[in-house]
Amino acid sequence: MKLRIIILSFFFPVFAFAQTEYFNDVRTTYSEKTYTTVVRTTVNASLHTANKVLDRFIDDLIADPESLFLEGRILEGLGSKDEKEKEFFYIEYQYYNYDKETGLYTGTLNFLIGKTRLSSIDFTGKITRTFPHKNVSKAHFELIDNNPLVRVAHGKIVVRQIDAQTIEIEQTSTIQFKWLFNVFFTQNNYKNLAEWRLDKFLQNIKREILQEEEKL
């Protein structure tokens, strides 16, 4: 199963990147070899609707992640921008499994970086869903094993009910690469490959929430 390119999302003195054209409020910092991107947006919808969409996304991510790239789904448009980018950086899934009892997912990936191919890279991650307050829900995605490419990788989605008709969605992605990817992922490469996808991902979630609200 091939995923065109997936946010290393789920599952990235301080340097702030210059802002480009985005749908949402996007801010990336780079400090101590760690990229942290925060994307925020507001939606005229209820927390109940947002939770329904987020739960469905997690269920599909577990059961059939490839389906999320189809038209109208949350990962639509997050594949390679063009063939040139695909030749530059590409990810393939060999294997993927989720254990509901432990909340752990395991898999094996192939990476293509320029002309270098890294095969059969194993990973283990964890998906956690929490509801710390009646007006707040969270989803956390984290790589928890020690693999040769990434030292730290986790993403968090927080949904807050601002008022009766408005919610705020905040997505935070943090990633620290090991030496090979750290050389490859310059700040400019990160911006070109990851930042716009994080913005698009949140825009797709917003679209799906609004579509769900229309059904009510």
Higher confidence at residue 68 or residue 203? Answer: 203
Structure confidence at residue 134 as a pLDDT band (50, 70, 90): very high
Higher confidence at residue 166 or residue 63? Answer: 166
CA distance 179 to 101: 34
Q: Architecture of domain 15-214 in CATH?
A: 2-Layer Sandwich (3.30)
Chain mean pLDDT for the chain: 79
pTM of structure: 0.80
> Tokens 């693999």 sit at which residue?
147
Strand-pairing partners, residue 48, are none
Q: Give tens-digit pLDDT for 15-56.
A: 333 344 666 788 889 998 899 999 999 999 999 999 999 999
What pLDDT is stored for residue 112 in this prediction?
Answer: 72
Cite the beta strand spans of the chain per DSSP E.
Answer: 15-16, 25-31, 34-43, 89-99, 104-113, 116-133, 136-143, 150-163, 166-177
Structure confidence at residue 1 as a pLDDT band (50, 70, 90): very low
Least confident of 2-16, 28-42, 184-198: 2-16
The DSSP H or E segment spanning 207 is helix 196-214
User: Mean pLDDT throughout 118-136?
Assistant: 89
Higher confidence at residue 185 or residue 154? Answer: 154
- What is the domain partition of the chain in residue ranges? 15-214
What pLDDT is stored for residue 90 in this prediction?
Answer: 66
> At what angle are helices 47-63 and 196-214 packed, to 10 degrees?
120
Are the CB atoms for 158 and 138 separated by under 8 Å? yes
